[in-house]
Structure 1
Amino acid sequence: MSFSGKYEVESEENYDNFMKRIGLPADVIEKGRTFKIVTEVAQNGDEFTWSQIYPGGKSITNTFVIGKEGDMETLGGKKFKATLKMEGGKVVGDFPNYHYTAEIAGDKLVEISTVGDITFKRTSKRVA
């Protein structure tokens, strides 16, 4: 199934605990709690362009090819290298502070990030 589409956050589980665990300051966690993030994904075979648009127009876009190491960037501007894989229809990768998976379930984008025993789940509904 293609990941291509535009998705708006519908729900988040364990946001505060996860963000604390990866070391974000309390003021950033508080600010982010109310954000309604829009994720836009364009997929062409194994090539992805994955954008997250935040309120106020701030956005971050990462382009990657499944199975190839690529340059990635966080919203805070930190750059890192990652190799994302496709496993059972899920995009899977290890980022500097956590393990990440994303999958399409019906008309939803489900993203799960795990650090230690803390799991953060974000579910976004397809809007386009």
Structure 2
Amino acid sequence: CFNPISALTHATLDIITSDPATRALSRQMMLEAKHIAESFGVHFRVDVERRIDGAGAVGAHKTSMLQDLEAGRAMEIDPLLTVVQEMGRMIGQPTPMIDAVLGLIKQRDRMAVAAPSGAAPMAKAA
């Protein structure tokens, strides 16, 4: 969940985990993914809040997806988000937060392709 949020906001882990809005979004995405994984028999020893706190403790780290965006490389959208969404569909589990972030990061990726420096192209003035 941190990867696409950081690519969308250009925020590092410490900022994502300390901001109430991005922390809440991270939590919801993690809970959606956790529910899906548990339905496939995966069990987690560390709860979501501890995982978020652990990411925040890493500090001002740029995620790999943000680094890829800034370097003009392809972002790892499918393995990090699309697969989780598809697994949710397989079991009939809604993934509203993952769906929303996936839609946003795909649009961000299209904009990055249009402007290879990683910056969204500027709209032309009328």
Query: Normalized against structure 1, the TM-score is what?
Result: 0.33
Larger gyration radius, structure 1 or structure 2: 2
Query: Normalized against structure 2, the TM-score is what?
Result: 0.33
Q: Whose helix fraction is larger, Structure 1's or Structure 2's?
A: 2
